[in-house]
Amino acid sequence: MAVSSGPISATPKPIKFGTDGWRGIIAADFTFERVAQVAAVSAHVLQQRFGETTGSRTLAVGYDRRFLSAEFARTAAEAIASQGFDVILSQDYAPTPAFSFAAKHRNLLGAIVITASHNPSAYSGLKIKGAFGGSVSPEVTQQVESLLPHPPAPLGPKGQISSFDPWPDYCTTLQAEVDIAAIQGAISSGKLTVFADVMYGSASGGLPRLLGSESVHELHRHADPLFGGNPPEPLPKYLGELLNTVKEAQVPQGSLKVGLVFDGDSDRIAAVDGNGQFLSSQILIPILIDHLKSRRNYSGEIVKTISGSNLIPAVAKLHGLALHQTPVGYKYIADRMQEAQVLLGGEESGGIGYGYHIPERDALMSALYVLEAVVMSGLDLSDYYCQIQEKTGYFSEYDRIDLPLASMEVQAKLLHQLATDPPKEVAGKAVKDILSIDGYKLTLADDSWLLIRFSGTEPVLRLYSEAQTLEEVHRHLHWAKDWANSISAS
């Protein structure tokens, strides 16, 4: 099992925040000294942004199960306290959304979370959460970066550090959102069997806390700083044991099986049907919209990124729900949640959140809703999905690939080509529309689509496609690879 992340530079990389936090190689880029520096400045910026509205001088500090996470969190807490702020420091690991919830529920300035989410084991990271219960905007993280060379002076005498348990309030809130008794009853009666691959991450113990200690079969629940040799990301290639476990599990006749998958800090989710087939959020989001509207009568806007399935707007239309589309990245969904009444916002990479909860991805909440949907419908997840396809009349397949490029110069060349002379056809299909809010989404004559996007930090081309058949999807993706290679070589 490969765990290497490649050669480590002797010179630490500059502290730069990405789409959700600052991440770096432990001991090379991510050090105790730098964590203290970033945490202290972050506290000042959160005070400037949210101090007046909250009237608070307190921040939460939490962490995941990565190597040295608890120690990094203690360092962050001490650095924040040294600046005159009070800190509530988590007594144990917990899901990132639990700390976002704590920030909002306790009326804090915000939260600092030590986590590198789904990155490989050599990484750690730091996320900044605002008082509103979600990730801060790029403007906030840019302000943090700009202040690092000349940090503000302490606001006063050293603050207090106290311990807190983020789990109880968080779990109580999640339990109140679903019919816990119905789910527990289905499990105890043998009508439902639940498996969960927590990928050695912060969701470990979460479903047992919510549903009862003996109710869930958890895989990889113990701590492992190497995550079994793979990144804790909910992708099929890392989930062989769960897929086989669910497929081979013997259950009573007529009983349903569900597998749930959580990433390293429990803000992304995927699922497995009763036959051991992987189900991405492209499948889960339509199911969740249908369930929340038809059985709970929730209303509000549906927010999707441009890489989301076209079944999502079809389900929204079926239920008379408005739709809003954003660039890829949950921060755009979270921004929309603060501007409009949102029922659900989701992205194809597994992040799903709810506007009436917190503007944040929350995998455990989504897991409870998935289980409730299965119990109330009496359907296997794939059967439920097929039923939605039949109701909407929309049938499709989806896939994506990442294509490494030789350099950022090659990437710039491809971007220039797309901006000045975009493709007029893809794999023999005419391009009828181009959306360029994030990369270039080419809608084809038969309403299938191809999305061409670029990584903002590395020379990687991200290719996504949806069509009626998987064969067509792969034809689009191979066409895109050939197109990119031909432009690169010219």
List, for residues 139-183, the tens digit of each pLDDT value. Answer: 999 999 999 999 999 999 999 999 999 999 999 999 999 999 999
Q: What is the mean pLDDT of the chain?
A: 95
**Kind and range of the H or E run holding 36:** helix 32-54
Question: What is the pLDDT at residue 370?
Answer: 98
- Asked if the structure places residue 6 within a domain, the reply is no
346 and 437 inside one domain: no
Question: What is the pLDDT at residue 459?
Answer: 86
- Asked if the structure places residue 75 within a domain, the reply is yes
Percent of the chain with pLDDT over 90: 91
346 and 416 inside one domain: no
Which of 166, 187, 214 is the last residue before a domain boundary? 166
Question: What is the pLDDT at residue 20?
Answer: 82
187 and 252 inside one domain: yes
What CA–CA distance (Å, rounded) separates 161 from 234? 35
β 278-279/256-262 pair status: unpaired
Q: Decide if pLDDT at 4 tops 60.
A: no
208 and 331 inside one domain: yes
CATH number at residue 253: 3.40.120.10
377 and 411 inside one domain: no
- Asked if the structure places residue 7 within a domain, the reply is no
pLDDT tens digits, one per residue of 430-440: 999 999 999 99
Average pLDDT over residues 108-118: 97
205 and 351 inside one domain: yes
350 and 249 inside one domain: yes
CATH number at residue 448: 3.30.310.50
- Asked if the structure places residue 469 within a domain, the reply is yes
Q: Report the candidate in 132, 97, 54 with the shortest Cα–Cα distance to residue 338.
A: 132
**pTM given for the model:** 0.94
Of 17-21, 264-268, 297-301, least confident by mean pLDDT is: 17-21
Q: How far is CA 68 from CA 62, 105, 111, in A?
A: 13, 28, 19
What CA–CA distance (Å, rounded) separates 436 from 339? 23
Q: Report the candidate in 289, 280, 466, 451 with the shortest Cα–Cα distance to residue 373.
A: 289
251 and 345 inside one domain: yes
- Asked if the structure places residue 38 within a domain, the reply is yes
Q: Report the candidate in 341, 326, 340, 333 with the shortest Cα–Cα distance to residue 361.
A: 333
What CA–CA distance (Å, rounded) separates 306 from 327? 6
- Asked if the structure places residue 316 within a domain, the reply is yes
- Asked if the structure places residue 9 within a domain, the reply is no
340 and 466 inside one domain: no
Average pLDDT over residues 457-478: 93
264 and 363 inside one domain: yes
129 and 195 inside one domain: no
- CB 333 within 8 Å of CB 347: yes
Q: Decide if pLDDT at 336 tops 70.
A: yes
Which of 328, 362, 392 is the last residue before a domain boundary? 392
DSSP string for residues in 38-91: HHHHHHHHHHHHHHHHH---EEEEEE-SSTTHHHHHHHHHHHHHTTT-EEEEES
- Asked if the structure places residue 1 within a domain, the reply is no
Backbone angles phi, psi at 34, to 5 degrees: -70, -35
386 and 403 inside one domain: no
- β-pair partners for 162: 88
Structural domain total, the chain: 3
Residue 330, Cα to own-chain centre: how many angstroms?
7
Residue 61 sits in which domain range?
17-166
Which of 118, 141, 166 is the last residue before a domain boundary? 166
Q: Decide if pLDDT at 292 tops 60.
A: yes
